[in-house]
Structure 1
Amino acid sequence: MAPTGIAILGAGIFAKEAHLPAIAALGSDIASLNAVYSRSIGSASQLAKDAQETLKLTEAPSVYHDGDESANLDVLLARSDIQAVVVVLPITLQPAIVLKALAAGKHVLSEKPVAPDVSKGLALIMEYTESYKAKALIWRIAENWEVEPGYHAAAKIISSGKIGKLTSFNVRAVGHVPKDSKWYKTPWRTVPDYQGGFLLDGGVHTIAALRVMLPSPMVSLSGYASLNMEHLPPHDTLNTTVRSADGSHGIVEMSFGAPVPSRAQEAKNGISITGTEGWLWIENTKSEAGVQVIRITTKRVVRNEKGEDVGEEQDVVEERSCGVEKELRSFFAAVGGNDDGFGTPSGALKDVAWIQAALTSNGNPVDLANLVQQ
């Protein structure tokens, strides 16, 4: 089968540092990067040069931008050698571009979140379902934590009963984002015109990981949100209590407003999941070889032949972090007719709903299922 001809729409940090290496890892027999687009010619041209180097292309992909009507996005989408697009644009711009690409008959993989808020996400999903899904066009959300092998390994440990019946979970996801951070200096993040700021942009990752690992969906949330660092509006911190449908419950601390790096580095970021027979500790870290991994440490009770508790045992599993590569491979497989069910817009909408609920709860319980059905 010939490779899928693709274009990358957006030329920011993540397109360069994550998507290009992932496409290279897949190989030219799966995808052929034929074009890149950005609003400015400078950023589009730079991404094309980076793509030529990373993908070892004989020629750079064609460059499209908003400054020339003969080389704008509409012209790119009219190309017959481009079957799919990867959308890596600012959050508020993505919905319109997703619909434009679908209307042009292209399959779409758009970066998380699915939309800036629940109402816009519901409207976008409805339009896709009514106008494009029946035409066999694939639209997926690029939520790389949803497909990370480490989180799926943790989910298998839990579902196997190794730690017994799940009772509770605890999440600490704290980051320090100074004004000189490359992520903060991205213009659209500096003055966010969407709810939650970094909490929406980055927080959906953590919620997607929980969605994969927990055996029962989260159904109710109560929490508070605040702004602690003035340069990170409208909110940078949230603390919540959460209940799942099976009765298990948890605490989620999420912040991008740590005042100093040590608050993020030394306060043990990670996810603990506890059952009646043991618990898991899941963390993003580096292996002894310096490779970025998700490490799952399982500790469970040991019983003697009489069933008496005589101590505990430990197992450690590490999975290389490769979510962007996984989501791209999965997307191209779906384009080819082999859909594994990951990256659904409805699944990604649950992550947005969770963040939205945490931002607006103000201590009152929010029904998460009802929120995505509005």
Structure 2
Amino acid sequence: MSPLNIAVVGTGIFATDAHLPAIKNIPELNVTAAFNRTKSKAEVFAKKAKISKVYDNLEDVFEDKSIDFVDALLPVQYNLDVVKLAIKHKKPIAFEKPIAANLTQAKEIVKLSESTDVPILVLENFTYLKALNIIKELLPKIGEVLSFTYRYTGPFNASNKYIATPWRLNPEHVGGYLSDGGVHQLAVLTEILGQVESVSALTKQVREQSGADDILFSTFKLKSGVIGTFTYGSAFGATDKTSVLTIYGTEGSIDYDFSPSLANPTVTYQTGTSNADISAKTVIQIEENATIEEEFKNIAASVVAKDKSVLNVPPRKAFHHFAIVVAALESSKNNGSSVKVETP
């Protein structure tokens, strides 16, 4: 089969540094065209990608019959617009998280996506981590899951090349930094333990560069009845960057440590109903997926099969991750009172 042709829409830092190399590593895919609102930026990207086709306007991308699917990396307030174009022209699309700028837009994207057979994937690459399935397979070993703690914290990175982008400095999307990065962590949590029912949270803004609140401390109640804490933020002073999920059960516990300082992420579990019968710890070292490549393999498989059911993160799932952040911010405005997570 000939490689699938991809048009990249939004040719900024992440398109150049992450998406383009990932696509080049997949023989079945081929970047053939580019578009950016500032055409000169698309032309720079085209040179790096060694392609010649640069579009003059966005609709031309979706009208081009030689393009098999679109890879969109736009400020999220434009995600609804590109989804409408994708459906209008029956063009499969993958677009970057969070799903939208607000819940009204997000609900419309879900509704539109479920009214069509066109594959529509939200690019939340953490859902492709191998560790998630490993942990789900281990859950029965620890009995009934009771609770969890999730902590993703780290120091402020003043040299982060992404924080200076205008749409992050002055975010139009609800949650700003918290939703832009937080949906990744919430995807990990919910893939393993299921959806969140309600949130009690406090947030605040530490760094002016974040554009909005950038640290979140919260408690969750899941639809399953499991309770836990979720802490997120990389706006602190000097501290280790830590990514750890601990799950507590009636017959044991599981620790998932994917902190950047580790050579490989680890999943550690131990069993026992009390301190009288605690087992030795079992440690599993994980050689992780190249998750961005896995995203593109996923949308490609859907396009070839003409089957949107194989998509890992359809809009409805991405809506939930975003809605948790929205609920946390609403809770914080109300001094930490419990807020139910909205559904589409």
Q: TM-score, normalised by structure 2?
A: 0.91
Matched, 1:270 2:244: yes
For residues 169-180 of structure 1, the aligned pairs below 5 Å read 169-180=148-159
Q: Structure 2 unaligned runs (5+)?
A: none
Partner in structure 2 of residue 85 of structure 1:
70
Please, which of 300, 303, 308 is the counterpart of residue 335 of structure 1?
Answer: 303
Partner in structure 1 of residue 269 of structure 2:
298
Matched, 1:282 2:256: yes
What amino acid does structure 1 have at the position aligned with 2:61? L
Matched, 1:250 2:228: yes
Partner in structure 2 of residue 46 of structure 1:
44
The answer to whether the Cα contact below 8 Å between 1:300 and 1:314 also exists between their aligned partners in 2 is no
Q: Structure 1 unaligned runs (5+)?
A: 53-59, 65-70
What SS class does the counterpart of residue 100 from structure 1 fall into?
Answer: helix
The answer to whether the Cα contact below 8 Å between 2:247 and 2:255 also exists between their aligned partners in 1 is yes
Partner in structure 2 of residue 144 of structure 1:
125
CA distance in 2, matches of 1:229, 1:82: 41
Matched, 1:220 2:211: no
Query: Shift of residue 198 of structure 1?
Result: 0.8
Matched, 1:364 2:340: no
Partner in structure 2 of residue 16 of structure 1:
16
What amino acid does structure 2 have at the position aligned with 1:13? I
The answer to whether the Cα contact below 8 Å between 1:118 and 1:372 also exists between their aligned partners in 2 is no
Query: Shift of residue 148 of structure 1?
Result: 1.5
Partner in structure 1 of residue 134 of structure 2:
153
Partner in structure 2 of residue 312 of structure 1:
280
CA distance in 2, matches of 1:366, 1:310: 37
CA distance in 2, matches of 1:128, 1:278: 40
Matched, 1:195 2:163: no
Identity %: 27
The answer to whether the Cα contact below 8 Å between 1:174 and 1:255 also exists between their aligned partners in 2 is yes
Moved more, 107-116 or 315-324: 315-324
Moved more, 278-287 or 81-90: 278-287
Please, which of 354, 358, 362 is the counterpart of residue 324 of structure 2?
Answer: 354
Query: Shift of residue 61 of structure 1?
Result: 4.4
Moved more, 331-340 or 309-318: 309-318
CA distance in 2, matches of 1:119, 1:360: 15
Query: Shift of residue 231 of structure 1?
Result: 2.7
Moved more, 228-237 or 107-116: 228-237
The answer to whether the Cα contact below 8 Å between 2:244 and 2:257 also exists between their aligned partners in 1 is yes
CA distance in 1, matches of 2:89, 2:205: 41
Query: Shift of residue 308 of structure 1?
Result: 5.6
Per-residue CA deviations over 1:266-315 (Å, capped at 9, x if unaligned) read xx432111212222222224698x5xx43222233399xxx961543322
The answer to whether the Cα contact below 8 Å between 2:250 and 2:273 also exists between their aligned partners in 1 is no
CA distance in 2, matches of 1:87, 1:177: 28
Change (3 A) 1:116 1:43: same
CA distance in 1, matches of 2:68, 2:245: 39
What SS class does the counterpart of residue 8 from structure 1 fall into?
Answer: strand
